[in-house]
Amino acid sequence: MTVFLWHIGATVALGRYVFRDAAMDLRWLAAGSILPDVIDKPIASILFNDTFHAHRVYGHTLAFPVLGLVAALVFTRRGSRIRKAAFAVVLGVFMHLVLDGAWTSPDAFLWPLFGWAFPTSSGSDFATLVRTMVTDPLVWVGEGFGAAYLIYLWRRHLNAPGALRRFLRDGRIPMPARTSGA
């Protein structure tokens, strides 16, 4: 159970260093990295806790990013900015699921393959989620990593005059130069 900085920081770090795509719009990648929580936390923990009794529902299923990917492929043109943005959002959602270890709850992760109901979990109400965020050391380690990486990006790439404005306009941060390994 983590909050936003872990997902944004770790996803942007993985996106930059695994895919090494200087043209990737990191704004959309970051948005996708928190989308499952933005959807599920209010729906399952606040609005419909009596219905779901869980804090991971639709946004934490494999079906969610797969349907997003299919929609992007069907409804957007190859090479368009909209398709690239949609792919970045879907990649961010996939990374969120990996960082959450979503596969450890297969009934939710593979929904609806095992039925239409989501598995219940104790402590899925909003007060318990907040208490966990405040008291769980793993949450703070993850949030600390995410914050540290985002601060690094700020200081290294976005602190120069005009750099933040460029990032807000196109979502790109320069990639570090590759070094030869020999």
Neighbours of 81 (CB within 10 A): 11
Is 111 strand, coil or helix?
coil
Q: What is the mean pLDDT of residues 1-19?
A: 88
pLDDT of residue 124: 53
pLDDT of residue 48: 59
Query: Is residue 92, in this structure, part of any structural domain at all?
Result: yes
Q: Which residue range(s) make up the domain with 127?
A: 4-167
Query: Is residue 172, in this structure, part of any structural domain at all?
Result: no
Query: Is residue 144, in this structure, part of any structural domain at all?
Result: yes
pLDDT of residue 123: 54
Query: Is residue 177, in this structure, part of any structural domain at all?
Result: no
Query: Is residue 173, in this structure, part of any structural domain at all?
Result: no
* Both tokens assigned to 104: 């450890």
Query: Is residue 25, in this structure, part of any structural domain at all?
Result: yes
- Structure confidence at residue 131 as a pLDDT band (50, 70, 90): confident
Ordered alpha helix ranges (H), 41-182:
49-52, 63-75, 81-100, 106-109, 126-135, 137-153, 163-170
pLDDT of residue 42: 77
Tokens 């270890």, residue located? 101
Query: Is residue 106, in this structure, part of any structural domain at all?
Result: yes
**How far is Cα 69 from Cα 158, in angstroms, rounded to an integer?**
30
Per the CB < 8 A criterion, the answer to whether 26 and 13 are in contact is no
Q: What is the DSSP string of 15-64?
A: IIIII--TT--HHHHHHHHHHHHHHHIIIIIIISHHHH--S--GGGSTHH
Q: How many domains are there within the chain? A: 1
- The answer for 160, left when phi > 0, alpha when psi is -120 to 50, beta otherwise, is beta
- The CA radius of gyration of the chain, in Å to the nearest whole number, is 18
Q: Give the tens place of pLDDT for each residue, 36-50.
A: 989 887 776 665 555
* Both tokens assigned to 131: 């208490």
Its sign, for the CA torsion 102, 103, 104, 110, is positive
pTM: 0.82
Query: Is residue 12, in this structure, part of any structural domain at all?
Result: yes
Q: Give the tens place of pLDDT for each residue, 142-160.
A: 999 999 999 999 999 998 8
* Both tokens assigned to 159: 């602190």
